[in-house]
Amino acid sequence: MDTKSIRNFSIIAHIDHGKSTLADRILLQTGLVTEREFRAQFLDDMDLERERGITIKAHPVTADFKSADGKTYQINFIDTPGHVDFSYEVSRSLAACEGVLLVVDAAQGIEAQTVANTYLAINNDLTIIPVVNKIDLPAAIPDAVCEELVAFLGCAPDEVHYASAKTGEGIQGILEEIVKTIPPPTGDPEKPFRALIFDSVYDDYRGVITYLRVIDGSVKKGDKVEMLSNGKVYEVTDLGIFAPNMKQAKGLSAGQVGYVVGNLKDIRAVKVGGTLAQPGGGVEPLPGYVEPKSMVYCGLYPSSTENFENLRKALDRLALNDASFNYIPESSTALGHGFRCGFLGLLHMEIVQERLERESDLDLVKTAPNVTYEVLRTDGTISEVHSPADVPDPSFIEEIREPIVKLEVMVPKEFIGAVMTLAEERRGMHKGLEYIGGRRALLHYEIPFAEIVFDFYDKLKSSTRGYGTMDYEFIGYRAADLVKVDILIHGQPVDALSIICLREKADIRGRKILARLRKEIPKHMFQVALQAAVGARIVARENISPYRKNVLAKCYGGDVTRKRKLLEKQKEGKKRMRAIGNVTVPQKAFLAVLETREDE
């Protein structure tokens, strides 16, 4: 197909601003889906996406659009997620496009993720078409939102499009603007085949299915292709486009977006962001994009040790579908064998756990999440610590460095004071304040990631009556006075309950964790001591009193020595049980660490 007739673009926006609804409307407008086949959130094929009303995976679609000038164009568009945890999906989608639709809610205005996504598009040198969506809402203020976009983007007011994805108003004009404004792909169909891999999935029957954007050349069924990341060569057994489901095609040429299936069963062979090329063509790998860096870690363990291999296979499949997720095996004295998993944020962690439990029918135990730290040892070496259990002995530590993020908070200007107070309580360093339009303010902070990862977003929503939004970006590590707090149950440290926190808050955090554990751990036949320790120093202690049998009930009289003998015998029995007894810790006790953070 002639590249001049192809247009590739993504739909980006803050969460819940109408991206998926706009994508649905484009499907209807181009005739790709009939009214009879249509359903809301058509491209969100995961039950989890439909239940939560959010997009988790980016979805490519190819459609034909007949313009007012009589020409027919092939438009390839990708509906992307809007939550900050899935910004990696957005960055992958932008690498396969020449332009974007920047969608803004007519009632909400510009939000934090709107700003972040716009900068991503600018950094990729993409054409931006601003769209004010949901103009049919009673609370809509499209003209005020248009002014915000003009001030933010520096565009002319007549370049901003008004639309209602729900009613279909303005959609035709947006499609005309896409084919008019967004440039066609620049690839050369005559050059050797080369394509960017922007996603992949695993099918039990077909093997690995690779989603790609063809940059140069063409590919057809029966061709040999090479994965430049590992030199693996395989034959193309099937290929096609998304219309919106997979549809077979004779071939894919420069500028097109589609999928390729080959005799490839190794799910670790495909590297998202890598280059697929003609074998021996001497082509250079494409630059791809920056690898995601996991910011939150937690342990995932099967509730039954028999399911360990099933969990490993499920993680392998999920890692292929989600390139931002990573894991390594680990062993815990409390929970047995499991995996230490890395995520982009708390929502990402929650979604991964739900997908594992639903798609692979697993029952999982999750440890309290923690962020990544850097430890400078006394010998000068630096190591990353993903779990408090990995922190070395204090005598070998020169300093501990915590991750710092650049935080951007978008709020109506009347809530600036509340946000500043919240950020300062969390050790935030104010870096700037700017006004967008006449109604909103964008605050810039540098703040420890551990201070915002758990409940900062909830507190932000509470203090701004739901209007505040945030986005963050990792910028580096900074030294702080941090210590590891060990939790000891019956004298034994439980690695799954250890935490890293500020030295000045160690005793407070320790006491709160022990108070929660005391409620969650049932009584035993002997006294159970709960302790919080920093190194060799105990900073907090709680006792769980034992069950007590009244051994004097049968003594209805007689000498006091008889009673004393029974009490001494009971005392010896308790002492022996305390020496050899094991403490049973229920699974819900491991969440106590997270819950105590929310109470602060």
Q: What is the pLDDT of residue 39?
A: 58
Q: Can you state the angle between helices 506-520 and 592-599, rounded to 10 degrees? A: 130
Please report the pLDDT score of residue 442 as a whole number. 87
Question: CA quadruple 235, 238, 242, 248: dihedral positive or negative?
Answer: positive
Pick the range with the lowest mean pLDDT from 412-426, 473-487, 514-528.
514-528
Q: Which of 159, 107, 156, 163 is nearest to 130 (CA)?
A: 159
Beta strands 275-277 and 246-248, pairing class:
unpaired
- At 83 the pLDDT is 65
pLDDT at 436: 79
Output the six-digit token pair for 217: 């050349």
Average pLDDT over residues 576-591: 58
Residue 182 and residue 11: Cα distance in Å, rounded?
13
Distance CA 143, CA 110 (A): 13
In this prediction, residue 444 has a pLDDT band, given cuts at 50, 70 and 90, of: very high
Amino acid 546 reads P
Residue 426 has pLDDT above 70, yes or no: yes
Check if the beta carbon of residue 596 is closer than 8 Å to that of residue 513: yes
Residues forming beta bridges with residue 477, ordered by sequence position = 403
Instruction: Give the C-alpha separation, 119 to 12, whole Å.
Output: 11
pTM, entire model? 0.70
> pLDDT tens digits, residue range 260-314?
988 877 766 777 777 888 887 677 777 755 666 677 777 888 877 788 888 888 8
Q: Is residue 208 a contact partner of residue 270, using CB atoms and an 8 Å limit?
A: yes
Q: Which residues pair with 472 in a beta bridge?
A: 407
Rounded average pLDDT over 574-591? 58
Sign of the CA dihedral with 292 first, then 293, 296, and 301 last: positive
- Is residue 44's pLDDT more than 60? no
535-547 residue pLDDT tens: 888 888 888 887 7
Contact (CB, 8 A) for 432 and 464: no
pLDDT at residue 82 in the model: 62
Q: How far apart are CA 335 and CA 301, in angstroms?
A: 7
Backbone conformation region of residue 558, classed left if phi is above 0, alpha if psi is from -120 to 50, else beta: left
Quickly state the pLDDT bin for 42 (edges 50, 70, 90): low
As to burial, measured by CB atoms within 10 angstroms (0-12 exposed, 13-18 middle, 19+ buried), residue 67 is middle
Q: On the CB side of 270, how many CA atoms lie within 13 Å of its CA? A: 31
Beta bridge mates, 260: 210, 239
**What burial class does residue 309 get, using C-beta atoms within 10 Å of its C-beta: 0-12 exposed, 13-18 middle, 19+ buried?**
exposed
Q: How far is CA 234 from CA 222, 230, 270, 323, 357, in A?
A: 10, 12, 12, 22, 33
Average pLDDT over all residues of the chain: 80
Asked whether the beta carbons of 63 and 27 are under 8 A apart, the reply is yes
User: Are 226 and 232 contacting, i.e. CB atoms less than 8 angstroms apart?
Assistant: yes
Collapsing DSSP to helix, strand or coil, 7 comes out as strand
Give the tokens for residue 385.
């610590």
pLDDT at 156 over 60: yes
DSSP E strands in 498-558: the ranges are 499-502, 528-534, 537-544
pLDDT in tens, 184-234: 888 888 888 888 888 787 777 888 888 888 888 888 888 888 888 777 888
Higher-pLDDT residue of 558 and 450 is 450
Residue 333 or 78, more confident = 78
What does the angle CA 151 – CA 156 – CA 162 come to, to the nearest 5 degrees? Answer: 90
The dihedral of CA 211, 215, 220, 222: what is its sign? negative
Average pLDDT over residues 498-527: 82
Residue 580 has pLDDT above 50, yes or no: no
pLDDT above 90 as % of the chain? 3
The DSSP secondary structure of 305-338, one letter per residue, reads GGGHHHHHHHHHHHHHH-TT-EEEEEEETTTEEE
Q: What would the two tokens of residue 74 be?
A: 């092939």
**Once rounded to an integer, what is the mean pLDDT over residues 251-256?**
88
Q: Which residues contact 349 (CB under 8 A, 6 or more apart)?
A: 296, 298, 341, 343, 369
* 269 and 208 Cβ atoms separated by less than 8 Å: yes
Q: Which pLDDT score, from 0 to 100, does residue 51 have? A: 56
Q: What is the pLDDT of residue 445?
A: 92
- Provide the terminal-to-terminal Cα distance of the chain, rounded to the nearest Å: 61
Integer CA distances (angstroms), 470 to 44, 49, 349, 354, in order? 24, 21, 18, 24
Residue 300 to residue 324: CA distance in whole angstroms: 17
**pLDDT band at residue 47 under the 50/70/90 scheme:** low
Mind listing the pLDDT tens digit for each residue in 49-72? Answer: 555 556 656 678 888 888 888 888
Average pLDDT of span 338-367: 81
225 and 196 in contact (C-beta within 8 Å)?
Answer: no
Q: What three-state secondary structure class fits 432?
A: strand
pLDDT top residue among 169 and 569: 169
Evaluate the omega torsion of the peptide bond into residue 493 and state whether it is cis, within 30 degrees of 0.
no
Model pLDDT, residue 1: 62
- CA–CA distance, 538 with 548 (Å, rounded to integer): 28
Asked if residues 440 and 411 have their Cβ atoms less than 8 Å apart, the reply is yes
- Give the integer Cα–Cα distance in Å for 163 and 466: 25
Looking at residue 46, what is its pLDDT? 56
Is 481 strand, coil or helix?
A: coil
Alpha helices in 304-454 (DSSP H): 308-321, 346-359, 416-425, 449-452
